Amino acid sequence: MKRLVALFALAAASSFAAEITGFIGDASCGAKHADASAASAACAKKCVGRGSAAVLVTKDAKVYKIDAASQAKAKEFVGKTVTVNASVNNDTLTIESIQ
């Protein structure tokens, strides 16, 4: 029984819900887009258009991957600063909502 409780505690610690603000960029350039400038927006749109995955880049250059199920939601906002409500698991987001 103690092992089962420890397993659930470990699983809960690795996944949590969060509200994160950042720039929807591309996996190819990643943290280079932390400035959210017009040049970063143009680059991100071009790279995502060529097949690179969308990512969320925070102002402090933290890059979150976006899971496959949430890519379509994120691609609508490439090149923009957004706030996402998402589950976070090992730096990968499952987006519930995006604004």
Q: Residue 7: inside a domain, yes or no?
A: no
- What are the 10-residue block averages of pLDDT along the chain, 99 residues in total? 45 73 96 94 97 97 97 97 96 96
How many structural domains are present in the chain? Answer: 1
pTM over 0.85: no
Q: Residue 41: inside a domain, yes or no?
A: yes
Domain that holds residue 57: 16-98
**Distant-in-sequence, close-in-space partners of 19: CB < 8 Å, separation ≥ 6:** 83, 84, 85
Q: Residue 6: inside a domain, yes or no?
A: no
Query: Residue 7's pLDDT is what?
Result: 40
Q: Residue 5: inside a domain, yes or no?
A: no
Residue 98 is given by DSSP the state E
Q: Residue 9: inside a domain, yes or no?
A: no
Query: Residue 3's pLDDT is what?
Result: 53
Strand partners, 8: none
Q: Residue 10: inside a domain, yes or no?
A: no
Query: Residue 15's pLDDT is what?
Result: 72
Token digits for 20?
């994160």
